[in-house]
């Protein structure tokens, strides 16, 4: 096994995600404080987001010193090995801050340029601490929920697709997001907005959703979970930025992916 073997990188991602998730759980039980707001007043970072990212970054520096790092809460480092770790320490920060038990640590190892359209995801882990659920995948090795292999159904139910979406923090973009929701509703049996993009994506891989779409995700929201979707047999795409600079991410079971992509795009 080489040090770029996807299975080896997957084992690092799962072990770090579990350790980081335990820290997030402990900090949540102690009470959460908002450290700052970011792009908009609704876009928050907690002290725990920063502490968890610092922990993951420090561990990676010890065991993979030549690798790059791209995280939600700290400066990027391109590294020298060609492998970059793409990390969201707490995806679903607003859920976390409100005590809604739906948030995740997301860790991916990618190879190539620091651009989701150009890199190759080699391994990923999405750990949901309140449920102790570990979604993980290695390129070519399948997608897993713990020890259970994930394989998506090829089509949605005849009753229509159970879909999920999300809304960015910038209020000026909400009207456009709602227009998309109205456009996709005819193909939906119902729609969810659960608050953590990585979990939404893993839910497609696990058969808990038929499809998911959202504008404005950042690379750390989908780097690990996008691989988990494709390794489960689902389809995943990152569509080019719109006039506001926001990419559109779509994941779905194969039978509805094209239709959902057509309706969710401008
Ligand atoms: C957010 C969550 C949310 C999605 C936002 C993301 P964060 O990530 O994934 O569900 O709608 O677009 O930014 O800020 O909690 O890491």
Distance of CA 168 from the midpoint of ligand 1 (Å): 7
Residues 34 and 118 occupy one common structural domain: yes
What six digits make up the tokens of 52?
């968890």
Q: Is residue 156 part of a domain?
A: no
Is the CB–ligand 1 distance for residue 228 below 6 Å? no
Residues 165 and 135 occupy one common structural domain: no
**Residue whose C-alpha is closest to residue 148's, from 228, 89, 221:** 228
Number of domains in the chain: 2
**What is the spatial distance between Cα 176 and Cα 174, in angstroms, rounded to a whole number?**
5
Atom number in ligand 1 closest to CA 220: 16
The sign of the torsion formed by the CA atoms of 226, 95, 147, 53 equals: positive
Residues 165 and 142 occupy one common structural domain: no
Pick from 91, 120, 150: which residue ends a domain? 150
Residue 193 reports pLDDT greater than 90: yes
Structure confidence by residue, pLDDT tens digits, 49-97: 999 999 999 999 999 999 999 999 888 999 999 999 999 999 999 999 9
Q: Please answer whether residues 7 and 141 qualify as being in contact, where contact means their C-beta atoms are separated by less than 8 angstroms.
A: yes
Name every residue whose Cβ is closer than 8 Å to that of residue 101 and which is 6 or more positions away in sequence: 95, 130, 131
Q: Please answer whether residues 105 and 211 qualify as being in contact, where contact means their C-beta atoms are separated by less than 8 angstroms.
A: no
Distance of CA 252 from the midpoint of ligand 1 (Å): 19
Residues 246 and 139 occupy one common structural domain: no
Atom number in ligand 1 closest to CA 94: 15
pLDDT of residue 165: 98
Is the CB–ligand 1 distance for residue 177 below 6 Å? no
Domain that holds residue 121: 6-150
The fraction of the chain above a pLDDT of 70, given in percent, is 99
Residues 173 and 137 occupy one common structural domain: no
**What is the spatial distance between Cα 251 and Cα 225, in angstroms, rounded to a whole number?**
10
Pick from 150, 177, 201: which residue ends a domain? 150
Residues 218 and 244 occupy one common structural domain: yes
Mean pLDDT of the chain: 94
Q: Is residue 94 part of a domain?
A: yes
pLDDT band at 2 (very low <50, low <70, confident <90, very high): low
Distance of CA 91 from the midpoint of ligand 1 (Å): 6
The larger pLDDT score, comparing residue 39 to residue 165, is at 165
Residues 29 and 121 occupy one common structural domain: yes
* CATH number, residue 74: 3.30.540.10
Q: Is residue 57 part of a domain?
A: yes
Distance of CA 221 from the midpoint of ligand 1 (Å): 7
Name every residue whose Cβ is closer than 8 Å to that of residue 40 and which is 6 or more positions away in sequence: 169, 170, 171
What six digits make up the tokens of 9?
């990188």
Query: Coil, strand or helix: which one is 146?
Result: coil
Residues 108 and 198 occupy one common structural domain: no
Residues 142 and 177 occupy one common structural domain: no
Which residues in the chain belong to E strands, given as ranges? 34-37, 44-46, 68-71, 83-91, 104-111, 120-128, 133-138, 143-145, 148-150, 161-165, 188-192, 211-215, 235-239, 248-252
Pick from 150, 179, 210: which residue ends a domain? 150
Residues 100 and 193 occupy one common structural domain: no
Distance of CA 100 from the midpoint of ligand 1 (Å): 14
Structure confidence by residue, pLDDT tens digits, 104-126: 999 999 999 988 889 999 999 99
**Residue whose C-alpha is closest to residue 260's, from 172, 178, 192, 162:** 162
Is the CB–ligand 1 distance for residue 216 below 6 Å? yes
By residue count, the chain amounts to 266
Distance of CA 104 from the midpoint of ligand 1 (Å): 10
Helix (H) or strand (E) holding 30: helix 6-30
Atom number in ligand 1 closest to CA 197: 9
**What is the spatial distance between Cα 199 and Cα 21, in angstroms, rounded to a whole number?**
14
Residue 40 reports pLDDT greater than 80: no
State the pTM of this model: 0.96
* CATH number, residue 219: 3.40.190.80
Q: Please answer whether residues 116 and 105 qualify as being in contact, where contact means their C-beta atoms are separated by less than 8 angstroms.
A: no
């Amino acid at each position: 096994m080489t040090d770029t073997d996807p299975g080896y990188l997957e084992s690092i991602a799962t072990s770090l995600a579990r350790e980081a998730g335990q820290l997030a759980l402990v900090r949540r039980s102690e009470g959460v404080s908002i450290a700052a707001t970011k792009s908009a007043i609704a876009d928050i970072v907690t002290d725990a987001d920063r502490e968890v990212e610092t922990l993951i970054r420090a561990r990676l520096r010890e065991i993979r010193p030549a690798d790059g790092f791209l995280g939600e809460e700290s400066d990027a480092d391109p590294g020298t090995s060609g492998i970059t770790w793409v990390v969201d320490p707490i995806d679903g920060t607003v859920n976390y801050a409100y005590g809604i038990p739906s948030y995740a640590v997301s860790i991916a190892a990618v190879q190539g340029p620091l651009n989701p359209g150009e890199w190759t995801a080699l391994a990923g882990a999405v750990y949901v601490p309140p449920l102790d659920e570990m979604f993980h995948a290695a390129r070519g090795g399948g997608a897993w929920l713990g020890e259970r292999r994930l394989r998506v159904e090829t089509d949605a139910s005849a009753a229509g697709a159970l879909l999920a979406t999300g809304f960015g923090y910038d209020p000026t973009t909400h009207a456009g997001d709602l227009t998309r929701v109205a456009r996709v509703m005819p193909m939906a049996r119902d729609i969810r907005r659960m608050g953590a993009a990585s979990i939404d994506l893993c839910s497609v891989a696990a058969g808990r959703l038929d499809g998911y779409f959202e504008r404005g995700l950042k690379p750390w929201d989908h780097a690990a979970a996008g691989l988990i979707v494709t390794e489960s047999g689902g389809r995943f795409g990152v569509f080019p930025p719109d006039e506001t600079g926001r990419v559109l991410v779509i994941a779905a079971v194969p039978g509805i992916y094209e239709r959902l992509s057509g309706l969710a795009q401008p």
